[in-house]
């Protein structure tokens, strides 16, 4: 994804919203700003951004509620980066459970925000059409490792950027146990913590397993990490 990507910034703090808009615009991005969740919903009806930077604590509908609603009701796949002054592990976990792809605590360095945005856009960008196809079979599903695309007989299935990155990391090393540290590095999730990885795994299992409670393909190896075991 080039730096002309379109970012929707949602924050009820007018000063921070303006600072973020100017900074990201200066870095080459197209930026649209919204002051709350309702304003963001209205703008999403007319624009198709590449990434959403969203404050958690807002009057009315919170950033968590908006993220969860977008994932559940609208099927939005656009990457979501949550911003919040509450940076405790349980708060980050709540963000990932709502469907966010990354989480950044306030105050933050603008450079860190930029690096996280670039990483999320890279994960969300499919490779060029000429990229070779490497398929992993997951029962009735197939996963194109090079394109990070999950399909069934009817066509592509929705994956968030984080889910696609996780499945890609596991599929590149099938039948090999990856530690949580390995997975965090592949997803570029600094200091996300073990629970955050577990949440991403739980979400992915809902997409690829007939019964997520009895996984057939994505297995937990106690004390070591996770392994993807493809099969017919």
Domain coordinates in residue numbering, the chain:
6-124, 135-228
**pLDDT tens digits for 58-86?**
999 999 999 999 888 766 678 999 998 87
pTM for this predicted structure: 0.66
> Are domains 6-124 and 135-228 of this chain identical in fold?
no
Looking at every residue in the chain, the average pLDDT score rounds to 87
130, burial (CB in 10 Å: exposed 0-12, middle 13-18, buried 19+): exposed
Topology (CATH) of 6-124: Rossmann fold (3.40.50)
Strand 6-10, strand 30-34: pairing: parallel
Instruction: Work out the average pLDDT over 121-132.
Output: 65
Q: Give the residue carrying structure tokens 């009315």.
A: 60
Residues 189 and 68: their CA atoms lie apart, in Å, by 20
Does 1.10.10.10 match the CATH number of domain 135-228? Answer: yes
Packing angle of the helix pair 110-124, 14-26 (nearest 10 deg): 60
Three-state DSSP state, 226:
strand
Higher pLDDT, 111 or 123: 111
What pLDDT was estimated at residue 2? Answer: 45
**pLDDT tens digits for 173-216?**
999 999 988 888 877 776 555 677 888 899 999 999 999 999 99
What per-residue string of b and e applies to 173-184 under the rule 16 or more CB within 10 Å gives b?
eeeeebebebbb
What pLDDT was estimated at residue 146? Answer: 86
Is the pLDDT at 132 greater than 60, yes or no? no
* pLDDT category of residue 232 using cuts at 50, 70 and 90: low
């Amino acid at each position: 994804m080039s730096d002309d990507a379109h970012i929707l910034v949602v924050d009820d703090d007018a000063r921070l919203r303006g600072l973020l808009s100017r900074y990201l615009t200066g870095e080459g991005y197209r930026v649209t700003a919204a002051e709350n969740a309702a304003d963001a919903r209205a703008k999403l009806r007319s624009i198709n951004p590449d990434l959403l930077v969203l404050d958690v604590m807002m009057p009315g509908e919170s950033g968590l509620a908006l993220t969860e609603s977008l994932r559940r009701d609208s099927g939005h796949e656009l990457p979501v980066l949550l911003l919040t002054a509450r940076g405790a592990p349980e708060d980050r976990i709540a963000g990932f459970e709502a469907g966010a792809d990354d989480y950044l605590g306030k105050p933050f360095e603008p450079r860190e925000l930029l690096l996280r945005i670039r990483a999320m856009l890279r994960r969300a960008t499919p490779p060029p059409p000429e990229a070779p196809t490497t398929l992993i079979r997951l029962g009735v599903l197939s996963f194109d490792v090079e394109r990070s695309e999950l399909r069934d007989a009817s066509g592509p299935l929705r994956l968030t950027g984080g889910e696609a990155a996780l499945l890609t990391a596991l599929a590149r090393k099938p039948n090999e146990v990856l530690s949580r540290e390995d997975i965090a590095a592949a997803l570029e999730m600094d200091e996300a913590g073990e629970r955050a990885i577990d949440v991403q795994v739980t979400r992915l299992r809902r997409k690829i397993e007939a019964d997520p409670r009895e996984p057939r393909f994505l297995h937990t190896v106690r004390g070591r990490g996770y392994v993807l075991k493809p099969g017919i």
